[in-house]
Amino acid sequence: MAAVALLAAAAAKAAVTVPVAMVDGLPVVQVKLGSIKADFLLDTGGAVAITVPQPLIVPSAGVTQLPETTKTTDASGAVHEVNRIKVKDAYIGDARVGELDGLVNYSWGLTLDKSAPEPDVIKKGIVGLKAFERKGVVFDLGRGKLIVLEPNEVPEMPGKWSSAPLKVDRRGAVVTMSLNGKDAELVLDSAATMTVMKRGAAALIGPNNVCKGKPADAGVCGPTTFRGAGLGDGTLKRVDFMVVTMGPLPFDGMLGIDFFKSHVVYLDFAKGRLHYRPL
């Protein structure tokens, strides 16, 4: 019995809490690469482990640029061809995530206001979901922290939680939300400044069809609100979306930083589940 208690205590201490700062309204964590420490954007919205800015691709950081390239498509539909990199050993805060495959950092994203200057935070490197795929992770961004779990570790989950199936594929981490009786596939995107839905999504019917009467080239149709949105075995009383024109992407929209700041989110990659509860 004493041995079991000791094992339980050891497991409880395995999780590492990482401070998260909000910069330009988006989550930023400190990353250590070799002997170099830098702030990186925490971005769950793509199937990438890490992107590293060119000035940090140096021997002292343990980062090597490879000759191979890959093509990625961002939410605007723009295609980027970028070099692959190999990171020898990475820490996110005090949580070691080890060797990572990644990309050279590049300018990306869906810009709703093209007249506004690009936020400085976008120019930082990115820590993506694949950095945590061998572990589990709890996003408690509303309280300024990220909890990185060891493999097979289950976090403490006090209070009432809801759960939904989670798909992790080339699109990123995807959940299905029921809106107006229609299924909407949404990417969990902590680097999206707001929750968005693409023009033409099946759920945009009746009063939610804010694009009705708008010109085809309108980049932004406007905001819309869904009430009683089903997410797994839970229901969100209200979800606000900005309806925008997006590229030809295989999903309906993105749950952005507003969702992450108003909920604690636990991603269990091993079991393919999203667990969430409101703050």
Q: What is the pLDDT of residues 221-265, one digit of tens each?
A: 999 999 999 999 999 999 999 999 987 889 999 999 999 999 999
Which domains are delineated in the chain? 17-149 (2.40.70.10), 162-278 (2.40.70.10)
User: How does residue 6 score in pLDDT terms, banded at 50, 70 and 90?
Assistant: very low
For residue 44, the SS3 value is: coil
**Residue 11: pLDDT over 50:** no
Of 16, 59, 64, residue with least CA distance to 34: 59
Q: Are 119 and 130 in contact (CB under 8 A)?
A: no
What is the chain's mean pLDDT, rounded? 89
Of 31, 75, 67, 26, residue with least CA distance to 49: 31
Please state the separation of Cα 1 from the chain's center in Å.
Answer: 40
> What's the rounded Cα separation, in Å, for the pair 52 and 105?
5
User: How does residue 113 score in pLDDT terms, banded at 50, 70 and 90?
Assistant: low
Query: Tens digits of per-residue pLDDT, 25-60?
Result: 999 999 999 999 999 999 998 789 999 999 999 999
Q: Which of 37-41, 111-115, 134-138, 192-196 has the lowest mean pLDDT?
A: 111-115
pLDDT at 219: 87
pLDDT at 80: 82
213, exposed or middle or buried, with CB in 10 Å at 0-12, 13-18, 19+? exposed
pLDDT at 110: 57
The mean pLDDT of 81-98, rounded to a whole number, is 96
The answer for residues whose C-beta is within 8 angstroms of residue 8's C-beta and 6 or more apart is: none
The mean pLDDT of 3-31, rounded to a whole number, is 74
CA angle, 37 then 38 then 41, to 5°: 140
pLDDT at 152: 86
For residue 150, the SS3 value is: coil
pLDDT at 12: 46
pLDDT over 70, % of the chain: 90
pLDDT at 10: 41
